[in-house]
Structure 1
Amino acid sequence: MQRSYAERMEATFVSQGTFRREGNQITLTDNRGDAGRYMVQDNSLIVLDQDGKPVTGALTSKYVLHRQLLANPEKWKAQAANGIDFIAMGTEPFWNVSLREGQWLIFQTPDKRDSSRIPVQLEKAGGTGWTYTGELDGQLFRLAIYTEFSSDGMSDRIYRYRTTFETNGKKLSGTGVALRGAISGNSAGGSWVLQDILEPGKSLQSLFSQKTPTLLIDTIARKLSGSTSCNRFNGAWMNGSELPFNAAQLAMTRMACAGEGETVFLAAFKKVNGFRCIADELLMYQDNRVLLRWKKL
């Protein structure tokens, strides 16, 4: 779970644990045993107190969490077709940085509309972010990308990445969106084992008593392979942050499998239309809903 205060999105707290839903109530328990309880109501979550009741009083409205939509990269489809991998942007002041093919940056503001290419190189990469640095005409540039949700401060949209851009001794803060997967795709590479299927009434232990589904992602060769715990599958990894693979085009063996584990897994796997990495954890989404949680081997 990732939490942040609306007034300061840069202060992000990440924790891991378990998720349980009973009726219209959700309980999130982190690895330290601390539990948070919420009540689902339309498109909102109402924070509950220790007795499982809504908080009352003058601050009641502060304990209602409203669903916010993720920014859709389709808006930047033309830029993606032109080889742009990632767009970072900010307000107050307005600024925009395009990362192209992982090799060039283009920095623009309302007062600076030229398209000078700034050659950059990947200085640092990891499960929590990436840093690109470059120099042009003696001026240093640094783009940092963090795998944290962020807000542009002007709309109700939430972005999958938080960004900072440093130039001329100034540090600009903003949001970011991956267009072609060069950012998020790199962190997904490697071997993974399934940790959880977020399906009501189903647990990993009850579905898979012996073997657990595994996944191997090769972002260089753009290949995906794995096991349902019974059958093997493989296909293309499209290095796209919003649609990493096409489940309908996966090749799979056809052994008869005991139990419902494979059926439940494939039903969730075929719904995936996005993913996100946080440290050694891979989350697969259908829109804003997490379906599968993987751990890196």
Structure 2
Amino acid sequence: MKKLLLWFILICGLMLLLFACRSSRQATAAPAALNGSWELIYILDPPSTFHGLYPTAKKPILNFDTNAGTLSGNTSCNSLSGKLNTDGNKIDFNGPIIMTKMFCPGDGEPAFMNVLKRVDRYDINKKEGTMTFFAGDETVMKFTRKK
């Protein structure tokens, strides 16, 4: 009976150790400053002017929930949602993103999605209320916090 109890304690200890190691290797949570809703105000290399890409008042919006590890929003036309992939100030949008498939006139949506897939990090300027996305050293998108 004592051997059985000893084995049980040993196995539980090993499982606890494995679980602790596994959780310590998970990606760092995104800073809470990322939380909320952000509206696109700049995009690099559009096929036309920014206002030509998004002629209506509706511009692309990204919503981040760091607690749930999710993102949602729209491309100015279609809705999107997916898993938030961050590690410190590194971010990527290459994971599965679910989107509605309405017809969207113009080049705004493809421009937004193509540039979004290039993003590898971000920076938040709390004073200005802006978030900048980078691909390497190049600024590719800029957002302003929506209230």
Flag whether TM exceeds 0.5 (same fold).
yes
Q: Which amino acid aligns with 1:271?
A: R
Task: Give 1:239 shift.
Answer: 3.3
**Residue number in structure 2 paired with 1:180:** 28
Could you say what secondary structure the match of 2:91 adopts? coil
Q: Whose relative contact order is higher, 1 or 2, with alpha carbons under 8 Å and at least 6 apart?
A: 2
Query: 1:285 is matched by which residue type in structure 2?
Result: F
Unaligned runs of 5+ in 2: 1-21
Aligned twin of 1:258: 105
Q: C-alpha separation between the residues in 2 aligned to 1:243 and 1:252?
A: 23
Identical aligned pairs, as a percentage? 27
Q: 1:291 aligns with which of 137, 140, 144?
A: 140
What residue number does 1:190 align with? 36
* CA-atom RMSD in angstroms: 2.3
Distance 2:82 2:89 in 1: 17
Runs of 4+ off more than 2 Å: 81-84, 179-182, 200-203, 241-248
Give the Å deviation of 1:277.
0.5
Residues 160-179 of structure 1: pairs in structure 2 closer than 5 A: none
Contact 2:119 2:133 in 1 (8 A): yes
What is the CA-CA distance between 1:199 and the residue it aligns to? 1.6
* Residue pairs, 1:144-155, within 5 angstroms: none
Query: TM-score, with normalisation over the residues of structure 1?
Result: 0.38
**Matches of 1:212 and 1:232 in 2, distance apart?**
12
Shift of 1:287: 1.1
- Code of the residue aligned with 2:63 in structure 1: it is L
Provide the rounded CA distance (Å) in 2 between the counterparts of 1:224 and 1:231: 14
Amino acid at match of 2:37: S
> Alignment partner for residue 75 of structure 2, among 228, 236, 241?
228
Deviations 1:85-131 (A, max 9, x none): xxxxxxxxxxxxxxxxxxxxxxxxxxxxxxxxxxxxxxxxxxxxxxx
Distance of 2:74 and 2:94 partners within structure 1: 13
> In 1, are the aligned partners of 2:66 and 2:84 still within 8 Å (CA)?
yes
What SS does structure 2 have at the residue aligned with 1:247? coil
CA positional deviation for 1:204: 1.7
Contact map agreement 1:196 1:294 (CA 8 A) in 2: yes
* Structure with the higher fraction of residues in helix conformation: 2
Gaps of at least 5 residues in structure 1 are 1-80, 85-178
Instruction: Name the TM-score, length of structure 2 as normaliser.
Output: 0.73
Q: Which is richer in strand?
A: 1
